[in-house]
Amino acid sequence: AQKVTQAQTEISVVEKEDVTLDCVYETRDTTYYLFWYKQPPSGELVFLIRRNSFDEQNEISGRYSWNFQKSTSSFNFTITASQVVDSAVYFCALSEARRYGNKLVFGAGTILRVKS
Amino acid sequence: GAVVSQHPSWVICKSGTSVKIECRSLDFQATTMFWYRQFPKQSLMLMATSNEGSKATYEQGVEKDKFLINHASLTLSTLTVTSAHPEDSSFYICSAKLAGVIHEQYFGPGTRLTVT
């Protein structure tokens, strides 16, 4: 079965600190996609990244970076020099096409609080 | 591009009444739409998958007679909560999948339902 674990329920940092949000997934499929979404207090989900199972290259986008390691089934997300506007709930999600028709399974989410 | 709207953004209804939530893909055709429910401080849980012109597929534990889903066109899906009760109060989010594009879902802004 698909499963996504975000063990960190809540993280608090001070502005300008770096912070890493952990995501561990379980799947029996060889073809799958991993996602990160941000949910600010307004509630609307903001798409951050999609990564397919065949692309293990790390990605950097501005202050955001992602580390995908199939060997440990992890897809961790790092925010460098955090800002107050980064405060939100962050969800990691997994999608398997063949078994589950593109359904997204979300982790429990990590609340990130960035204090000024 | 790829904008999904939901209407209403929030609604308050009395226990026992029904409420309809609309999900529209504004600038693309969506053969598949998904409905999620998010209780406070919890993750998104998939309720059902809606395919244009056919019956929705409900996840285990979701009452299909209570949560009526209609996907009558390639740009509109509706979720009707029938005989609503206070425990149905939640944040309902829809997403739409571009026709022919796998693993790409665009999320609506969500509808906050409060049943009094």
pLDDT digit string (tens) for chain A, length 116 residues: 679 999 999 999 999 999 999 999 999 888 899 999 999 999 999 999 999 999 888 899 999 999 999 999 999 999 999 999 999 999 999 998 665 567 899 999 999 999 99
Task: Output helix, strand, coil percentages for chain B, rounded to the nearest 5.
Answer: 5, 55, 45
CA nearest to B106, candidates A49, A46, A34 = A46
> Is B60 near chain A, with CB under 8 Å?
no
- Give the whole-angstrom CA distance, residue B19 versus residue B73: 20
Residue A102 token pair: 């593109």
Q: Do A102 and B105 touch (CB under 8 A)?
A: yes
CA nearest to A5, candidates A29, A28, A26 = A26
**Set of chain A residues whose Cβ sits within 8 Å of the Cβ of B91:** 43
> Is B110 near chain A, with CB under 8 Å?
yes
- Give the whole-angstrom CA distance, residue A11 versus residue B59: 31
